[in-house]
């Protein structure tokens, strides 16, 4: 079964169990980033980041996105609150950007790239086809 690496649990006071349960329909949910040397299937595994971030998570998340991008792992940003704009690290290194209560969340679960702003409205970003080395 493919894995969904949840890199964080979202903002203080947010219960991420509902979101993790939703992803568990298709993925084996893993808390945290893959370990060095761990076998990651970049064709089917994903990394999930819940926004807004808790205090002190920003650098960890940026480094984690860079690690995911380095191996070709898809990064999905899920917004549980409107934070204004899509974070730069997601605009550059993300696969999907979606609001928690979006009707498109099921499509993301099925591996489709969906780009929404943190308020749930469609975004101008598009899936960028990346070359695999």
C-alpha span between 112 and 48 (Å, rounded): 14
Is 119 contained in some domain? no
Token digits of residue 102: 């979006």
Q: Does residue 80 sit within a domain? A: yes
DSSP 95: S
pLDDT at site 95? 95
Residue 17, classed as helix, strand or coil, is: helix
pLDDT score of 90 = 95
pLDDT digit string, tens, across residues 74-127? 999 999 999 999 999 999 999 999 999 999 999 999 999 999 999 999 887 655
> What's residue 106's pLDDT?
94
What's the alpha-carbon Rg for the chain, to the nearest Å? Answer: 13
Cα–Cα distance, 31 to 29 (Å, whole number): 7
Please, which pLDDT band fits residue 133 given cuts at 50, 70 and 90?
A: low
Question: Considering all CA atoms of the chain, what is the largest pairwise distance in Å, rounded to the nearest integer?
Answer: 41
Q: What is the pLDDT of residues 17-65, one digit of tens each?
A: 999 999 999 999 999 999 877 899 999 999 999 999 998 999 999 999 9
Q: Average of pLDDT values for 126-130?
A: 54
Q: What's the structural domain count of the chain?
A: 1
- Would 44 be classed as within a structural domain? yes
User: Cα–Cα distance between 117 and 105 in angstroms, integer?
Assistant: 13
Instruction: List the CATH number of the domain containing 21.
Output: 3.40.50
Note whether residue 68 is domain-resident: yes
pLDDT of residue 48: 98
Among candidates 39, 41, 19, 20, which has minimal Cα distance to 30? 20
Partnered with residue 104 across adjacent β-strands are none
Residue 133 lies in a domain: no
- Identify the pLDDT of residue 124: 73
């Amino acid at each position: 079964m493919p894995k969904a690496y949840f890199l964080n649990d979202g903002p203080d006071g947010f219960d991420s169990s509902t979101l993790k349960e939703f992803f568990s329909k298709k993925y084996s949910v893993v808390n945290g980033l893959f370990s060095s040397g761990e076998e990651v299937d970049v064709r089917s595994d994903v990394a999930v980041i819940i926004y807004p971030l808790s205090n002190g998570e920003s650098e960890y998340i940026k480094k984690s996105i860079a690690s995911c991008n380095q191996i070709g792992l898809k990064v999905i940003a899920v917004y549980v609150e409107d934070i204004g704009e899509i974070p730069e690290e997601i605009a550059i290194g993300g696969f999907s950007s979606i609001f928690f209560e979006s009707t498109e969340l099921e499509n993301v679960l099925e591996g489709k790239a969906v780009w929404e702003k943190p308020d749930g409205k469609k975004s101008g970003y598009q899936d960028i086809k990346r070359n695999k080395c």
